[in-house]
Amino acid sequence: MLILLYTVGELTSLLQRGTSYCLGLFDPALKTTREAIDKYQLLVKSRPAVFLPTLAICLNNLGTILSDLSRHEEALEVIKEATNIYRSLVSSNPDVFISDLAMCLNTLGTTYSDLSRHEEALEVTIESKDIYRSLVSSNPDVFLPDLAMSLNNLGTTFRELGQHEDALETNQEATNIYRELVTSHPDIFISDLAMSLYNLGNAFIALGQLEEALKTYNEASPIIRPLAHKYPQIFEKLLYLNLLGKKRALQALGKEKEIPSAEMMELEKLISKFS
């Protein structure tokens, strides 16, 4: 039988080496994830019920790696395949696979957005959000963070489509969820709150609600700053964008002179790095 060609240990090793992606080692992660997919595709032919779920996981992981390598067209095809697998699995076993489908739809939405296909991104991200909302009603401790993530992505998509009222409402809900999560798990969710506040500030700006935008950027800055100092490669650009948003809000309000000198110096250094 085909299953005897690969031991559990061999397949587990491939999956574990695929997690090199989490360490920023994209090339080895790409190679080992492709190897795992090739082997699971063979195994699925003989025992689809056993191996199809893991094949879908591998495909979703591959799509994420390809997206981070800016190979968005390739990522789209892979994530579409993973999504179709999860849809088939949900049709026969919804309780087990519905959350995986929501996760994959969210990934599909961000990939469509990377390709500026915002209408398609909107459709699948709304579907993801709706699934997570239903899951939160029965298991909030597990799925509330996923709902917030999906809402954040949805808000960005609304903004790209010029639907600014919808973007604001969605970003506000996401931010409120992250505030709640931070109260119980600050180390885990503080960076998500920082990003959500920045997105919310942008949503206020788009609607000309400058005072609200300024208030939001001011709340975000002291959260982002220590993250930027600790993890500059990840959060320094977010600090730059947040300070820039604050500066523009103050300029529009005719209050540019109210920018603290220390923040202005900080922004000038970041402008030289990122502009």
- The answer to whether residue 103 sits within a structural domain is no
What is the average pLDDT across 124-128?
98
pLDDT level of residue 25 (50, 70, 90 thresholds): low
Please give the tally of structural domains in the chain. 1
pTM of the predicted model as reported, rounded to 2 decimal places: 0.86
Calpha distance 267→241 (Å, rounded): 9
- The answer to whether residue 163 sits within a structural domain is no
CA 87 to chain centre: 21
Return the amino acid letter for 263.
Answer: E
CA 265 to chain centre: 31
First vs last C-alpha separation in the chain: 58
- The answer to whether residue 24 sits within a structural domain is yes
pLDDT level of residue 275 (50, 70, 90 thresholds): confident
- The answer to whether residue 254 sits within a structural domain is no
- The answer to whether residue 274 sits within a structural domain is no
> Which residue in the block uniquely carries the two structure tokens 């689809």?
48
* Tokens encoding 206: 């788009």
pLDDT tens for 187-231 read 999 999 999 999 999 999 999 999 999 999 999 999 999 999 999
Q: Which domain holds residue 20?
A: 1-95
CB of 43 closer than 8 Å to CB of 3: yes
- The answer to whether residue 248 sits within a structural domain is no
pLDDT over threshold 90, residue 11: no
- In 3D, which of 209, 266, 212, 204 has the Cα closest to residue 241? 266
- The answer to whether residue 66 sits within a structural domain is yes
Cβ-defined contacts of 46-55 (< 8 Å, 24+): 46/1, 46/2, 46/3, 47/3, 52/85, 52/88, 52/89, 53/85, 53/89, 53/97, 53/100, 54/11, 54/15, 55/85
- Phi/psi at 260 (5° precision): -60, 140
Please state, for a pLDDT cut of 70, what percent of the chain lies above it.
Answer: 91
pLDDT tens for 243-269 read 999 999 999 999 988 889 999 999 999
pLDDT over threshold 50, residue 14: no
pLDDT of residue 8: 41
- The answer to whether residue 188 sits within a structural domain is no
pLDDT of residue 28: 82
pLDDT of residue 185: 96
pLDDT of residue 264: 93
What is the average pLDDT across 160-169?
98
